[in-house]
Amino acid sequence: MAIDSKAAAEIIMTSYREATAEGPAPAAMAATARVVPQDFCKLWPAAKPILTALATLVLLLPGFGKVAAGVLTGLIAVGDKIAADLC
């Protein structure tokens, strides 16, 4: 299945919206979710450093840490590509 940057960005934003939707989450988390940008071009610059740090931390895990870090690094590269295409 081929996927373009716009569709990929929408998949990411849909997952983001679901993760930050109000519901059983504490009120502080829900309030924070309301002030976070709701488009990929604003979300990506905030998310990328966090994902990069996570990839570095995962690398330290014994066993499949290198595999997980490699996959996460690849997903970061995909996010960069989407940002380059759309932003």
For the chain, percent of residues with pLDDT exceeding 90: 29
Determine the structural domain holding residue 69 and report its residue range.
5-86
Whole-prediction pTM: 0.70
| Model pLDDT, residue 24 | 54
Total domains in the fold of the chain: 1
Could you read off the pLDDT of 29-57 as tens digits, one per residue? 444 444 445 688 888 999 999 999 999 99
Question: What are residue 63's phi and psi, to 5 degrees?
Answer: 90, -110
Q: List own/partner pairs for 52-60 with CB under 8 A and 24 or more apart.
A: 52/76
Structure tokens at 47: 């998310």
Tokens of 52: 């990069």
- In sequence order, what DSSP letters do the residues of 38-79 get, joined into one string? SSHHHHHHHHHHHHHHHHHHHHTSTTTHHHHHHHHHHHHHHH
Q: What is the pLDDT of residue 38?
A: 64
Q: What is the pLDDT of residue 4?
A: 82
